[in-house]
Structure 1
C-alpha cells in the first residue's frame, strides 16, 4: 500500500475519481498502522500483567489465553483489511489502462505535467502593469551583454509564483539584449520533459529565426543526431538560450553538452525553484545566480491597487481588510494578482464579502477558478517533492500562521513520528537536517535566523504554501488543526494541533487513533481540562508536545502511552517526574527545558532509547549572572544510556561520579556541565577525551573555583561550539588545534595572558564573546588574523583601555557589541577599516564614552563609525532595555518612554 501511494500521490489532484480511490487506499493504510500499533500495545500490557502477577502454571495459562484473545481479534481485523483491499484491487484494474503502475513500476504514469503550464504565473502577471521588476532587470542585463566572452549561465531562482518567468521574459525581450545576440530561443523544460521533444523545439526555433527550413526527417532523429545539429548550428554564433523551469541538475546535464563554447559571448538563462540547481548550473561556467525575493510592502500595495481598484485609491473602510489580505500574500506576485482579480469583482460597498474572503481564504483556494490556477502552480512544488519529504512538509501545517519554526524541535518531532529513515554513516538527526536543507533549497522554507556556521536555525513557511498543505492535510486526513471555534471534525483524527483553545465535549473519542498532539498558546483552564480529558483516550500516541501549557503536575495519562517517542513539557510549571516514567519504554526525546525539575527519578535509566534529554532552566535578568542556568543532578548508572546524543544541563557535583558516568556516553554530540570544582580537573579532562563525537561543549565551574582544563591532551576535533565559564589559571592551549571551532565564549575567565594570541588563527571562527575574560589593558587584533569572524562581543572587561584593529584584521566582521567596559578610552582604533560592519552597539557605557560619537560633536570620533549603518547605545532602565540610535533620529516611539528610545525586553537581545 505504501509503495502504491508513493507512486500515486502526485496524480490525485488531476482526477476526482482517482482521488477517491487513492483516499480509500490511504485510509486502509492508516487503519493497518493502527491495528499493528494497537496489537503491540495490547501484547505489551498482557506481558506486563503476566510478569507482575502469579507466575505459577495457572497464571501463565491465564496470560496465554488473554494473549490468544488479542491475537484472534487482530486476525479478524486483518481479514477485514484483506477484504477491503480486494475491492480496492478491483478499482486498480479499472484504472490500469490509464496508469500503468504494475507494468512499469515507476511514477511515469502519474503527475507528468498535471495538464497545467507552470508559466501561468507569467501570463497572469502580464494582465497588469508589472511592479518591482526594473531593478532585477537592470542587474541581470549587464551579466548578459558584458563581461568575458566565454559561455556563462545566469540562473534566476525563487519559489513558485514570484515571477521568475515574467522577469526573464522582460530581459529576453529587451531591445539591448535582442541586438546583442545573433540567435535567441526560449525552451520550457518543466518537471517531466522528453529530451527529444525539447531538442526538436529548440531546432525549430533556431532555424525559423534564420528563415531556414528545419532538417528533413527531424521527427525520426535520435537524441545524439539532434544534439549534433544544434551544436553545429550554434558554432561561432553569439546566442542567448532560455531554459525555463528547470527542476533538476540532471535536466541541465542533458542540455549543456550540446552548447558550443566558442568565446563568442554566448549566454544561457535558467529559471528554477531549486537553489542547488541554480548554483550548480552557474558555478561550472563562473556565471551568476539571481535570487528573486518577494515584493516589498510598497510594491505589493501598488500591484494590489492596480488590479483591485484599477489604479484608484483604496476606499478607507477597506484599508484594514486589504492590508490583512495583502499580508497573507507575503509579497508573492502571483498570489497578489490572483486574489486582487477576485476582489475586483466584489462590490466595494459590501464589506462583509471582503471580510468573508479574508476569513475563508483556504477554502477559496479550491472554489475559485483564478485562485485554483494559483493553487495548481504552487502544488507543483509539493508534487515534485520526493515521497519521503511529503509527510515532513505536510507536518508544517501543524504550526500556526506566521509561526517561527525552530529546526531542532522540528527535527525531533519528525524523528518521533518515524518520518526520518536511517542512512549508513549518519545519525538520524543528520539525515533530518538534510531533509530541512532540501526544503530550504526548494524555497519551501524561508530562513529567519541562522547559526554561526551559516546553517538555518529558524525558518517560516509562506502563508499560501501553508494554506496549500492545510488543504492537503485535510484531504488526506494527515493532520487536523483546531484553530476554529466551529470547525467540522473529521471522522478520524490522526494528528491534532491545537492553537489557542480546545473546546469539544466529545473530545476523548478522537484520541483512540491519535498518533500526534501538539499545542500552541494554550493557557485557559477549560482548554487544559479538555486536553487532559483527550489524553486519557490516547493509546497509540507517538508525539506529544505540551510546551507552554501551564501544567503543575505531570499528566498521569501520559504514562499509558506505550508508543510515545517524543515528549515535550517545555515551559510548563511541572516540578517532578513520577517514578512510573519507566513505562515509556520507546521514549527517545524528553524535553523538560524551562520547567522546575532539577532531579530525575532513578527509573529514568530504564528508558534505554533516549537520544535527547534536556533538563535545565535559565535565570532571568538584565545581564547573565554567573549561575545563569540550573541543571539536574546526574544519576549513578546514567552512563548506561548509550544512545544519548544531547544532554543538558548536568550538575557535576560530586564530580567523580558524574564525570565517570558521562565518559561512558560516547555518542554524545552536545553536553553542558555545571558546578565543576578545581579538584575535578583530571577527571574532567579524561572524560572529554573519551567524548570524541562532541560538537558542542559547555563547562562552568563553581564560582570562585578554577576551571582546570590543563590535563586535556586529545580534545574532540569535531568541536564547533565551546562555552567556558569560570576562572582559568592559564589559557587552554589545546583550543588552537580545534580547526572546526565556529563559536567560542569565555566568561569570568580572568586571564592574564592575551587570549587573542591563541584564537587568532582558528580558520572557521565566526563568533567570539568575552565576559570578564581578560584583565589586561589592551586587546590587539593583528593584521590578517580572525579571517572569518563576524560577531564580536566584549563585556565587563573592566581594566580594558584600548582596542586596536590592525590593517586586514577581522575583514568579515559584521557586528560588534561593547558593554560595561568602563575604562575604555574610545571606539576601537582601526574600526574605520571594517567595511563589512553592519551593527555597532554599546550597552551601559559611560556618557563620556558615547558623547564624542554623536553627530552634534563635530571633530569627535564619529568619522570612525560613519560607515556603519546601525549604531546604538543602550541602557537597562525600569526593567527593560532602552535603545537609542546614535544619530538621534527617532526610530520608534512608545508612549511614556524617553524620546528616541526603542524598548526591548531581555528576550529580544538575541545575540546573547
Structure 2
C-alpha cells in the first residue's frame, strides 16, 4: 500500500492548517517525486521496496498528525476553561483556532524537546526516502522494455483448471451464441472477446469452442496461444507459427522478424481461427495483430481477458461476450460431475452438496476446487463440515493455487487502484455497497490523488469504472439514468482482499472469531467491526485512522468510552450505533474527514463542531422508534465556517441561515467544496444564501407549511442560481391537510438539472412545461399530488432526454403524448393513479421503452400497457416488459425503513 500511504501523507502535508517549522522543506518534494515514479513503474518491479515506502510514509504522517493533535487539544482545553465567560469570547477563541495551532500550555523546555524529537524523526524519514529514490532509479521496469521481456510464465503453460476444461456445465447458451458468431455471415476478420473475472470459465468456454467438431471442420487452420501477464513476443510467435505451419518441421530458434513473415505467410489466403488466451494488456495485441491477414474469408480471433478495456481496444465495434456466474442448478451440476463423474450422487448427500454449490457463489473455479476436496472423502460428516465455510476449506487446502489465479488480477493493478480494491474487504460478506458511500469513504481515507482539472468524486468514479472493467467488482444495480448505484464483490475476491490486506497491513476485521488484534502498530490503522457483542477495543489507538462499524448495537457506550483515545482517526462510520446525545469526545478528533452516526429523540449539534476543521462528510440520521415522528436535528451556525465540507446528509435537519452566521460569527466562508446538502427543513433559498454554495450538485429540502407562513418567503425561484445542480428533491407538506393550497408558481430550475423529485406541490399540469423544457432532465418523480388536475398534454419537443418517469398519487384522468415527446423514455412507473384511463401508446414509438410498472391503477391502464407491449413486439422490440406490482412489491420498492437506503440512495 505504498501508493495509498504516500497520497495520504501528501494530503496531510498540503491540508495542514499552516506550514509547521518542524517539517523539513524538501519532504513534500520527495513525496511528490515518489508518486510520479510509482505512476510510471509496474507493481512487480518495485515489490521489494513497497513495504519500506509504506512504513516511512506512515512514520512521517504519525509525527505530523500527532503534532497537530497535541496543539489542537491544548487549544481546546484553553477554550473549555473559559466556559463560564461570555459566549462571544468562546466564539472568538474558536475563530482563532485555525491560525493559532502553537498555543500549547506546556513549558518552553518541554516544547523544544518535543520539536527536536519530531524534527529528528522526520529527518530520519527523509533519509529513508532518499535511499528508496536511489534504489528506484536503478530499477528497470519490465513494461518499458521490448514487448514481452521478463517472461515468468510460459505462453504455453498449463492452467490450474486444465483437467476440468472438458466440462462445459452451464455454458450451453454461451456456446450456441458464440458458434453463431464464429460461423456467421460476416466475411470480414472478426475479433470476439470473452471477458470475465478470474476462474469464471473463459478458457473453458474458449477451449470447448476450439475443440468443437463443427468449428474444427469450418476453420482449416487453428492456433491456440496463452499470452499471460508477462510474455515473450518471440515465444508467442513461435507457438503461432508452429500451430499454423503447412509443411516442414517445427520452428525453434528464429529472430522475431523472420517469425513475423512466416506467420503472415502461413495465414494468408486461409480461413483461420486464432485463440489468444489470457490477454492482460494491449501491447501484445498491438504487436501481433498486423500479422493476421483479412482476406474476407470469415477468419476469426478469440480473445479471453479479465479486462473490458483490452476487449474494446482490440475491436471497439464488436460486442463483448461477458461471462456470468453460474446459477444454482448449473452450479450443482458442475459440482456433482466434478465429484461423481457420470455416476449419480447419493440421495442423502444431495441436499448438503447443493448447499456447498450455492456457497461457491457461481464461480466455476471454486466449484471445481471444492469438488476435488469433496471427492477425497465422500462422508456426510465431512461434507457438512465443509458446507459450514467453503472459503476457509479452500484456503486450508488448495488455497495457495486458487488464490494465485485470483491474485493475478490484483498484481496487475496500477498502484493507485490497489488500495481502492482492497478496501472492498472492509464491508460485510454479501454486502450491497452503495457507490455514493464508497466514494466518500475512498476520498476520506486519502486514496484519491488530487488532479487540477477534476473533482475528487470524478476521479473516484474513474477508479471505480477501472475496477469494474477489470472484472474485480460487479454492478448489482444501476440508477434510472444508467449510473451505477450498488456494487457487490464476489466472496472469493473478498477473501483475496482479506488476505492481501493482512499481508499489506492495510486493515483488520473484528468479528466473533477475532477479538484480539495481531501485534504490530501498523496493523491497527483501519479496523472494521462486524460483530454485535464486543469486548472493549484493544488496539494501539494512537495509530488508528479508520473505524467502521457494521454491527447493530443498541447502546453507544462501547464507542463513547473508546472514542477519546482514537486521536488520529480520519474516518468514523458509526451509522449503526444510536446516540441519545452528541458524543462530545468526537470533538477531539481533529483529523476526522468522515463522520456518520445516528441518534434518537431530538439532537443538537454543538457549536464546537467547527473544531473538526478537516471534516468533509457529515452524516447524521435518526434511527429507531418514531423515525417518521416529530423529532429533529438542530445544526449550529458554525457549520458555515467549515470550508472543507463536501457532503452534508441529514434527516429532518434545521440548518440556520448563513446570513445569521455572518452577522454573529463575522467569519462566514464560501463553501466551494460543498456538493451535497440533503435532508434540511424549511431552508430559505435567497440568492445571497445560494451564492455561499456555488458548486452544489445535490440538494434535498422539505418544507412544512402552516397558516402563518407564505410559500413565497422561501424564494424557490432562486434554485436557478445553482448552476452546478444536477439532483433536486423538494417535499412540500401542509401542516393541516384541510387547508392544503397549491404552491405558488415560483419554481425555476437550473438548466443542468438531471434528476428532479417533487412531492405535494399541487401545481396545475398546465405548468408542467417549466419542467418539460429542461434540456438535461433524465429522471422525474412526481409524488403525492405534485401536480393536480385531470389533463396532462405536453408541448411539442418536451422531455427529450427523460429516461425515467414516476407518477405516484394524483387526480390525472387523461394523459396525451405524440412522437415528439419522451424520445428516450425507458421506464414508466404509475402508482395509485386511480383516475387515469390509459397510457398514451405514443410513448412507445421511440423504441427505447423497456419497462412499464403499475400499482393500483385501473384495468384500462393495464390494458393500454399490454397494447403498447404488443405493438412494440410487432416492431421487433422484444425487450419491453409490463409488470403489475403486488402490494408487497410496492412496499419493497420503497424500502423506506432501510437506513442505508435513506442515507445513500435518497430513500424514496
In structure 1, the partner of 2:333 is 302
**Could you tell me whether the CA contact under 8 Å between 1:634 and 1:651 is conserved in 2?**
no
Name the structure 2 match of 1:723. 757
Look up the match of 1:767: 804
Whole-Å separation in 2 of the counterparts to 1:538 and 1:754: 60
Judge conservation of contact 1:43–1:70 (CA < 8 Å) in 2.
no
* Range that drifts further, 753-762 or 165-174: 753-762
Paired with 2:129 and 2:453, the residues of 1 have a C-alpha distance of: 38
**CA contact under 8 A between 2:477 and 2:485: conserved in structure 1?**
yes
Change (3 A) 1:8 1:151: closer
Deviates more, 1:140-149 or 1:180-189: 180-189
Match of 1:378 in 2: 406
Gap regions ≥5 residues in structure 1 = 618-629, 839-864, 884-901
Match status 1:44 vs 2:72: yes
How many angstroms apart in 2 are the aligned matches of 1:813 and 1:710?
Answer: 33
Higher mean alpha-carbon deviation, 113-122 vs 591-600, is at 113-122
Question: Which residue of the partner structure matches residue 322 of structure 2?
Answer: 291
* 8 Å CA contact retained: 1:736, 1:759: no
Instruction: Evaluate the alpha carbon distance shift between residue 43 and residue 720 of structure 1 in structure 2; reply closer, same or farther with a 3 A threshold.
Output: same
**Equivalence map 1:680-691=2 (5 Å):** 684=715, 687-691=718-722
**1:694-750 deviation digits (Å, cap 9, x = unpaired):** 1111233453344445574xx433211011230224424343443322101223234
**What's the TM-score once normalised by structure 2's chain length?**
0.80
Distance in structure 2 (CA, Å) of the matches to 1:652 and 1:793: 29
Whole-Å separation in 2 of the counterparts to 1:59 and 1:789: 61
How far the C-alpha of 1:829 sits from its partner, in A, is: 2.9
CA contact (8 A) 1:204 1:214 kept: yes
How many Å apart are 1:676 and its aligned residue? 7.9
SS in 2 for 1:608: coil
**CA 1:43 to 1:107, structure 2 compared with 1: closer, same or farther past 3 Å?**
farther
- Contact 2:698/2:726 (CA < 8 Å) preserved in 1? yes
Q: What is the match of residue 834 of structure 1? A: 869
Q: Please give the alpha-carbon distance, in whole angstroms, between the structure 1 residues aligned to 2:466 and 2:682.
A: 39
1:483 aligns with 2:483: no
Q: Does 1:607 align with 2:651?
A: no
Residue 245 of structure 1 aligns to a residue in which SS? strand
Aligned match of 1:896: none
Q: Determine if contact 1:811/1:836 at 8 Å carries over to the other structure.
A: no
Provide Cα deviations, 1:587-611, integer angstroms capped at 9, x if missing partner.
Answer: 0000113455432012222322101
Q: 1:763 to 1:551 in 2, by over 3 A?
A: same
Within 5 Å, give how 1:109-258 maps onto structure 2. 115=153, 121=159, 123-124=161-162, 126=164, 129-207=167-245, 210-212=246-248, 219-222=254-257, 226-258=259-291
1:268 paired to 2:306? no
Q: Does 1:757 align with 2:794?
A: yes
Match of 2:375 among 331, 335, 344: 344
Q: By how many angstroms is 1:768 displaced?
A: 0.4
Give the Cα separation in 1 of the matches to 2:871 and 2:154. Answer: 46
Deviation string 1:742-763 (CA, Å, 9 cap, x unpaired) is 1012232344485452486433
2:636–2:656 Cα contact (<8 Å) kept: no
Tell me if the contact between 1:642 and 1:665 (Cα under 8 Å) persists in the aligned partners.
yes
Out of 493, 505, 530, which is 1:499 matched to? 530
Mapped to 2, the partners of 1:113 and 1:503 lie a distance apart of 49
* 3-state SS in 1 of match to 2:553: coil
- Report the secondary structure of 1:827's partner residue: helix
Instruction: Tell me if structure 2 keeps the 8 A contact 1:28–1:81.
Output: yes
Aligned mate of 1:74, from 118, 128, 142: 118
Deviation at 1:791, TM superposition (A): 1.9
Q: Name the residue aligned to 1:790.
A: 826
How many Å apart are 1:167 and its aligned residue?
0.7
Q: Aligned pair in 2 of structure 1 residues 64, 781: CA closer, same or farther (>3 Å)? A: farther
> Is 1:429 equivalent to 2:467 in the alignment?
no
Contact 2:544 2:568 in 1 (8 A): yes
Given candidates 778, 795, 817, the residue that maps to 2:853 is: 817
1:743–1:768: 8 Å Cα contact kept in structure 2?
yes
Flag the 1:30–1:483 CA change in 2: closer, same or farther, 3 A.
same
Deviation at 1:192, TM superposition (A): 2.9
Determine the C-alpha separation between the residues in 2 that align with 1:687 and 1:496: 44
Unpaired segments ≥5 residues, structure 2: 4-33, 83-92, 94-101, 624-630, 662-667, 735-739
Alignment CA distance shift 1:113-1:709 (3 Å): farther
| 1:154-178 deviation digits (Å, cap 9, x = unpaired) | 1111111011111111111212112
Distance 1:711 1:874 in 2: 35
SS state of the match for residue 757, structure 1? coil
Equivalent positions of 1:30-41 (< 5 A) are 30-41=58-69
TM-score normalised by L of structure 1? 0.80
Q: CA deviation at 1:336?
A: 0.7
- CA 1:689–1:63: 2 relative to 1, 3 Å: farther
Separation in 2, partners of 1:342, 1:111: 38
Comparing 229-238 with 32-41, greater Cα deviation is found at: 229-238
- Say which SS state the counterpart of residue 801 (structure 2) adopts: coil
Cα root mean square deviation, aligned? 4.0
The Cα offsets for residues 261-286 of structure 1, whole Å up to 9 and x where unpaired, read as: 221111111111122332443333xx
1:293 Cα offset (Å): 0.8
- Per-residue CA deviations over 1:772-806 (Å, capped at 9, x if unaligned) read 4554x322342474233222122344443333314
Residue 212 of structure 1: CA displacement?
Answer: 3.6
Within-5 A mapping of 1:451-850: 451-491=479-519, 492=521, 493-501=524-532, 503-505=534-536, 507-523=537-553, 525=555, 528-570=556-598, 575-594=603-622, 596-616=631-651, 632=655, 634-635=657-658, 636-637=660-661, 640-652=670-682, 655=684, 660-675=688-703, 684=715, 687-703=718-734, 704-709=740-745, 712=748, 715-725=749-759, 726-729=761-764, 730-747=766-783, 748-752=785-789, 754-758=791-795, 761-773=798-810, 775=812, 777-783=813-819, 785-806=821-842, 808-809=844-845, 811-821=847-857, 825-829=860-864, 831-834=866-869
CA contact (8 A) 1:755 1:774 kept: no
Q: Does 1:418 align with 2:446?
A: yes
Q: Contact 1:500–1:523 (CA<8 Å) still a contact in 2?
A: no
Q: Distance in 2 between matches of 1:326 and 1:652?
A: 54
Residue in structure 1 matched with residue 359 of structure 2 by the alignment: 328
> Equivalents in 2 of 1:563, 1:118: separation in Å?
52
> 1: distance between equivalents of 2:155 and 2:870?
46
CA distance, structure 2, for counterparts of residue 229 and residue 264 of structure 1:
20
How far apart are the structure 1 equivalents of 2:745 and 2:253? 75
Write out aligned runs for 1:888-903 (5 A): none
Q: 1:388 to 1:807 in 2, by over 3 A?
A: closer
For 2:722 and 2:360, how far apart are their aligned partners in 1? 48
Give the distance between the partners of 2:126 and 2:388, measured in 1 at CA: 43
| 1:503 Cα offset (Å) | 2.6
Contact 1:805 1:828 in 2 (8 A): no
For 2:423, the equivalent position in structure 1 comes to 395
Q: Distance in 2 between matches of 1:536 and 1:665?
A: 32
Cα distance, 1:438 vs structure 2: 1.3
